[in-house]
Amino acid sequence: MSFLELKNLSYSITNNDILNDINLNIDKSCFFSILGPSGAGKTTILRIITGALFADKGQVILDGEVINYLPMEKRQIAMVHQSKYLFPHLSVIENIQFGMKMKKFDKDKIIKKTEEIVEFFNMKEHILKYPYQLSGGQQQLVALMRALASEPKVLLLDEPFTGLDNNLKIYIRDYILKLHRQFKITTVMITHDKEDAFFMSDKIAFLFKGKMLLCEEPGKLINSTGIEEVDSFLGQITSLGDGSIVFSDKILKIN
């Protein structure tokens, strides 16, 4: 049985279909990516999963429970936005501990967990700083730390590398993969970047104009999918056979 399931999800604004009959099954501890061009409805899916939006039709099922009308705070789903949305009036450590305090973790656990996460992300020297004193990459890390600290059942990543330069992107991407391996949190990432999706995901779903066109393991997307929109978005992909694939002129080592 899937850990997170979207069943016949539809959402529209003033008669414009933003999402049309979306079905997705995401396994526990899986790193799942929703790939698609801008305006495909990717963020809307995440907003419905978090409870910031209500679907017109369909169900969101988490761990066997329908959570459509469950308040956001009871869903145990944390989201990291592309704009970070750190709390500007709180220091880094206060940002990290916010979720734990809201969930009423005991004091010792809060301290232990904070130390563990700060060490994991190597951010000890920044914990007393405020968000405006951090670089874009550091802010993204703090947003990740904050989400992770609240021990969510599902971690949602909304275009987490937007606005970061390539080196920083690789740095944060590695951290995300490392934390996924260590904490085994079911993670759903939305992105328009096919390289990120291929590099990080156990499974990729392709969303186009509010419709889910396919959901496959990255390895199975290397050859033509037979779906015009997907093939034209992914372009030419060649496997080199050693775990590396070539996107146009860029080689990506998947393993």
Partner 1 sequence: MKIFNKIIFTLLMIFLLLPLLSMLIWTFFSSWASNDNLPSNLTLKWFIYFVNSGDWLIGVKSVLFSISAAFFSLILSIMLSRFFIKSSFKYKQLESMFYLPMLLPVVSVCIGSHKMLLNILGIKGSIIVLILHIYFSLPYAFKMVYSFYNVWGIEQEQVARGLGANRWKAFYLINVPIYLNGYISSFLMAFIISYSQYFVNFFVGDYNSVNFSMIMTPYITGSDRNIASVYIFLYMLYGIIVMLLCTGIEKMYNNRKRNERI
Binding residues (CB under 8 A) for partner 1: these are 13-14, 50-52, 71-73, 75, 77-79, 81, 83, 85, 87-89, 91, 94, 98-99, 102-103, 146-147, 150, 152
Q: How far is the CB of 139 from partner 1 (least distance, A)?
A: 13
Q: Which is nearer to partner 1, 52 or 251 (CB)?
A: 52
Q: Between 72 and 251, whose beta carbon lies closer to partner 1?
A: 72
Q: How far is the CB of 14 from partner 1 (least distance, A)?
A: 6
> Cβ of residue 4: shortest distance to partner 1, in angstroms?
15
Q: Who contacts 137 (Cβ-Cβ below 8 Å, separation ≥6)?
A: 164, 168, 171, 172
CB 124, min distance to partner 1, A: 18
Q: Looking at beta carbons only, is 26 or 147 nearer to partner 1?
A: 147
| Residue (81 or 194) nearer to partner 1, CB | 81
Q: Which of 51, 218 has the CB closer to partner 1?
A: 51
**Min dist. Cβ of residue 245 to partner 1 (A):** 34
Least Å distance between CB 52 and partner 1? 5
Considering the complex, state which of residue 54 and residue 243 has its C-beta at the smaller distance from partner 1: 54
Contacts of 160 (CB under 8 A, 6+ apart): 80, 82, 140, 144, 172, 176, 189, 191
State both tokens at 105. Answer: 């973790």
| Pairing relationship of beta strands 250-253 and 57-62 according to DSSP bridges | unpaired
Ordered DSSP codes for 172-240: HHHHHHHHHHHH--EEEEEES-HHHHHHH-SEEEEEETTEEEEEE-GGGGSS--S-HHHHHHH--EEE-
Nearer to partner 1, 94 or 231 (CB): 94
Q: Kindly state the smallest distance separating residue 35's Cβ from partner 1, in Å.
A: 23
The distance in angstroms from the start CA to the end CA of the chain is 27
Give me Rg for the CA atoms of the chain.
18
